[in-house]
Amino acid sequence: MHIALKMSCASVSATSMLRPISGNMMAAAQQHRKKRSLAIRKTDAMNHAERQNGTVLDQIWMQGDPSSFLNLSTSENQTKSENHQNLAVIEEDENLNYLEKDPLIEKNDGNKTLNIKLKQKPEEEKENERISKQTCEFREEENSVVLRLNIGGVPFFVLVEALLHADPSTFLTKFVQLSHRAKLKVADAFLLPERAYYFQRSPLAFEAVFQYYANGVVHKPPELCPSAFSAELEFWRVPTSYIGACCSDSVSPLERLLESSKEDKVDDTSFEKLRFGQFRRRMWTFLERPGSSMQVFELSSTMFVMISVLGLSFGTIPDFQVIEYVSSGNQTIMLPNGTEIIQEDIEPIRIEHPIFVFTERVCIAFFTIEYLLRLFAAPRKLRFVLKPLNLVDLLAIMPFYLELMLTLMGVDDKKLRDLRWAFLVVRILRVLRVIRIIKLGRFSSGLQTFGMTLQRSQKQLQMMTIVLLTGVVFFSTMIYFLEKDEKGSPFTSIPAAYWWCIVTMTTVGYGDVVPATTMGKIIASAAIMSGVLVLALPITIIVDNFIKVAQEEQQTEQFKAELLAMEEQERQLQQEQEQRRLKFNQSQKEILINNREENRGNNEDNQLISGKQPLIFVSNA
């Protein structure tokens, strides 16, 4: 049987040797010889049909081996990479291995098992020695201030300081913190003459990534396809939130949704290193993701906002106010007999009903506790404070505490009339309470759509504002010099004519101020036509942006539902795989235990048989 197999193998090899050499084979051999002549060291990532640089990078970071980092991060757990498990014995427990034959049971095959292990270790040692040689040669460049890269044949030099100050989730920010030996496993190759790490990616797309590390903004090159550009950003792990406003159209709603989900995952992982991480993680999920809390928090927050706004509104109705008598000063009265009497002047004023004051304080207490809980649970405090919606939450409670500070400083209602600045500040603070209505934007998709429309229409709004202000100054100056000499003219100055010009150019026309001269009426007609042109042109673009944003919101909701379904399906598959793995491990344990028990029984039987075997003596008789 063995002879037949050898003959068949020999025949196959002979036929392959007698095959004629084609031109493609010659070209492939020359190409292979050229590759071998390059002074590069190919890494394990080149063995994959699909490049998994990011996967290898994540594995190294998850392992947390101190030898894989450059004194820039702490070690956590030390595990073996899945791509480098070359040993023949796969052990999950200390006393368990999954060989087809147990070396403890099969004594005859014990040497073979040891030979398998000894054959694998020298190959791993050779690989480590080869990497160590590369590491020793590159040790002088370890403290370099720049990271040398070669992207698709184009060299790039990026400052290490710029990489460390960038978003910590980006590919290169993690890559630069690795040791040279770990970088060799992540990169596609290492070019010895250039001392650069090679990645076979698009150099044109990497220029946008380089701009991000240089100035913090990503701009899409016009030569690139949007999908290819998005793929490169995904590989280098640059968030789409850093894309400039001029290039925001190149990002699809699905990519924005995936980016937001990645940010949520980053926030989830960042809780592991914080104090009370699990508790803060649950609190953050409850407060920042209302859908996960059965919309209880969303409804309660909306209810308090509405109660606060309604209380502020109804508190100004005279029928719901109470009269309070306040001293407005003292008056000295001289009687006919020469006696002086000091009389206190009491002035009745209307104030809010105490029930509205109590309601206001309850709402302020709720908003304060809500904001402090959000701030406590936030994994990134500065990022949390600078978010627009969180700034609105802060502005909603600031007026109450500033007014309370004025009261503690002794500036009460009686002294407000004497201190005009304090009276003005208190009035402004009370007006700012209406900002709480904007808090509804956190839970209202309509307000969010409107805000995104204004954000996308920044250029059109800026153009409209500049042109409108130019027209206001121009026509106000014209109308002032034409109408100032008329008797009883309301145009007493150029700033006084601004109101008339704004009302005229916006085609509102209150009629409280009108020109009297013929030339003034001609200027007013020109202002009206200019206002129509200035306002009509940008509005069409703004409406178009609103339609696009509304359509993207619908697509995002659809993508979100599909993404949740995919995550649920993936979770179920992982659970099934885990159950299969546990069942397999349990079955293997039972098989090994049974084999060991049978082996012990056979050994005991053999010992008993060998011990009781009778001795045969041959007599000379």
Taking residue 27's Cβ as centre, other Cβ atoms within 10 Å add up to 10
Contact 57, 185 (CB under 8 A): no
H/E stretch holding 515: none
pTM to 2 decimals? Answer: 0.47
Give the DSSP letter string of 176-208.
TTB-HHHHHHHSSEEETTTTEEEE-S-HHHHHH
CA distance 33 to 42: 15
Token pair recorded at residue 339? 């006696």
535-553 pLDDT tens trace:
888 888 888 888 888 887 7
Kindly tell me the burial class for residue 510, based on how many C-beta atoms sit within 10 Å of its own C-beta (0-12, 13-18, 19 or more): exposed
- The pLDDT value given to residue 559: 73
H/E stretch holding 491: none
CA distances from 481 to 454, 477, 494, 497, 517 (A): 37, 7, 9, 11, 11
* From-to residues of CATH 1.10.287.70 in the chain: 458-596
Kindly tell me the burial class for residue 339, based on how many C-beta atoms sit within 10 Å of its own C-beta (0-12, 13-18, 19 or more): exposed
Low-confidence stretches of the chain (pLDDT < 50) are 1-50, 73-121, 135-137, 140-141, 266, 292, 613-621
CA distance 104 to 101: 9
458-596 classified as CATH 3.40.50.150:
no
Token pair recorded at residue 354? 């105490």
DSSP 272: G
> Considering just the CA atoms, what is the radius of gyration of the chain in Å?
40
How are strands ordered across the β-sheet holding 154-159? 40-42, 189-191, 196-199, 146-151, 154-159
HEC-encoded secondary structure of 303-352: HHHHHHHHHHHHCCCHHHEEEEEEEEEEEEEECCCCCEEEEEEEEEEEEE
CA distance 44 to 59: 13
Contact 523, 491 (CB under 8 A): no
- The pLDDT value given to residue 71: 65
- The pLDDT value given to residue 104: 37
Token pair recorded at residue 199? 């990645």
H/E stretch holding 44: none
CA distance 399 to 394: 9
CA distances from 539 to 225, 525, 534, 542 (A): 30, 22, 9, 5
Q: What angle do CA 354, 357, 363 make, to 5 degrees?
A: 145
Token pair recorded at residue 505? 């150019």
Taking residue 363's Cβ as centre, other Cβ atoms within 10 Å add up to 24
Q: Report which residue type is found at 481.
A: F
Q: What is the mean pLDDT of the chain?
A: 72
Token pair recorded at residue 15? 């036929």
What SS3 state is found at 367?
helix
- The pLDDT value given to residue 500: 92
Contact 184, 199 (CB under 8 A): no
CA distances from 384 to 245, 284, 366, 572 (A): 22, 12, 19, 33
Q: Which residue in the block uniquely carries the two structure tokens 């002549």?
A: 37
102-124 pLDDT tens trace:
333 333 444 433 343 334 445 55
- The pLDDT value given to residue 101: 38
- The pLDDT value given to residue 253: 55
Taking residue 256's Cβ as centre, other Cβ atoms within 10 Å add up to 17
Q: Which residue in the block uniquely carries the two structure tokens 């003219």?
A: 489
Token pair recorded at residue 539? 């509005």
CB contact set of 592 (below 8 Å; sequence gap of 6+): 96, 102
